[in-house]
Structure formats: C-alpha cells, structure tokens
Structure 1
Amino acid sequence: MKSLTKHLFFQIPARMGFENITSTVQELVTESGVQEGLCLVNAMHITASVFINDDETGLHADYKKWLEKL
C-alpha cells in the first residue's frame, strides 16, 4: 500500500488570511504514486482552519466578515 506524509508550513502575513493549497496538494498526490484512495489535509494547530470551497474573492470577504464576528 502506497502512502505519503508531508508537513507543509505557511507564513500568513496577517492575523487572518487565505492560502489556496490545491496545486501543492495535487503535486504531492502525484509524487506519492497513489492512484485511488483518500487525501487527508489537516491543520495541526488549534488556531488554524482548513476550508474546502471555491476560491472566489467574494467568498473570502464573506468569510472574513463571518470570522470577525466570532
């Protein structure tokens, strides 16, 4: 069974930011040689989150407004 574990680190310049990691994850899946199965992406920090959604500027603005209300 093939598998791959990678730890990715991101420097977000502000208190809140959005980072599209789709191409990075796609490259890692290709590198792994895995043809089918699951791809788990997990934020390993309590103040981080992973959102899977469309990468649209309007959504970014909506998320920022929503997160500021929390």
Structure 2
Amino acid sequence: MLCITEEVEKIVAESNVIDGLVLVNPMHITASCYVNDLERGLHHDIMEWLEKVAPYHGKDGPNGPEYQHHRTGEDNGDAHLKRQLLGQQVTMPVQDGRLHLGTWEQIHYAEFDGQRPKRILVKVIGIQRE
C-alpha cells in the first residue's frame, strides 16, 4: 500500500482547477485506490482482513479447491476479490485550487497481484483559474 496523496496534490495544483473534482483510478482490475488514515497499523489490519476474506489459496487453504478464476490459467483470483472489497477508485473535491481532504484522509494505492506494469489515472475536472 502506498500513500499517493502528495502526487495527487501536485497534479491538482498543476491543473489550475480552483473548484471541481479529482478522480484517481488504478487502471487495473487487481489494484485499488481508496481513502483512509495514513497509519501503518491500520494498513496491516486492512491487509490481514482482506487475506481472511479472500485468502491467496482460497477459503479452504492450499489443499482445498482453487478459485474458479484460476481455470482461465491465471492464479490471482484473490487479487480480484480484494480489489472488489477495497474499492476501485476515489473521487475527491478540489476547493480553492487544492485537494480538499478531511483531517486524517489520505489517498492510497493498493496492489494485490504485481505481475504486470501498472499505471494510475488522475483526472481533474472543474473550473480553472482565469
């Protein structure tokens, strides 16, 4: 999990949008962008929770049945489920030319597979400075 708030803030500042929205999308089906506190213990808890709900080997462990998705030749069924649980993308407000976050809100990127190169789309929409 990576905190990408600073990178998003830079893109918002460079956009010259003073009032609008910013969309942050991981552009891949085994990754998530989400908003939460920047606290390492919480990151650990989230990953532990995701692994309990969508374990790497499937619900019955390595000796149990695999995910149906694995019949396609892929081995990342858990990564797809974890992405569904954590969410796909975030949309945040832009106010006075800055990312408008709550006190503890930070934008994070989580990768659950890692087998392919990834990119993050950041799109700023709104009223620009004159």
Structure possessing the higher relative contact order (Cα contacts under 8 Å, 6 or more residues apart) = 2
Please report the RMSD computed on the Cα atoms of aligned residues, expressed in angstroms. 0.7
Return the match for 1:49 from 24, 29, 32: 32
Q: Does 1:34 align with 2:17?
A: yes
Aligned to 1:15: none
4+ residue runs of structure 1 moved beyond 4 angstroms? none
Q: Give the paired residue count.
A: 53
Between the aligned partners of 1:48 and 1:60, the Cα distance in structure 2 is 15
TM-score by length of 1: 0.72
Amino-acid identity (%):
55
**Which amino acid in 2 is paired with 1:63?**
I
Unaligned 5+ segments in structure 2 are 55-130
Between the aligned partners of 2:2 and 2:40, the Cα distance in structure 1 is 12
TM-score by length of 2: 0.40
Aligned to 1:66: 49
Instruction: Kindly provide the CA deviation profile for residues 7-63 of structure 1, in whole angstroms up to 9, marking residues without a partner as x.
Output: xxxxxxxxxxx1100000000000000001000001110000112101101111111
**Partner-residue secondary structure (3-state), 2:32:** coil
Unaligned 5+ segments in structure 1 are 1-17
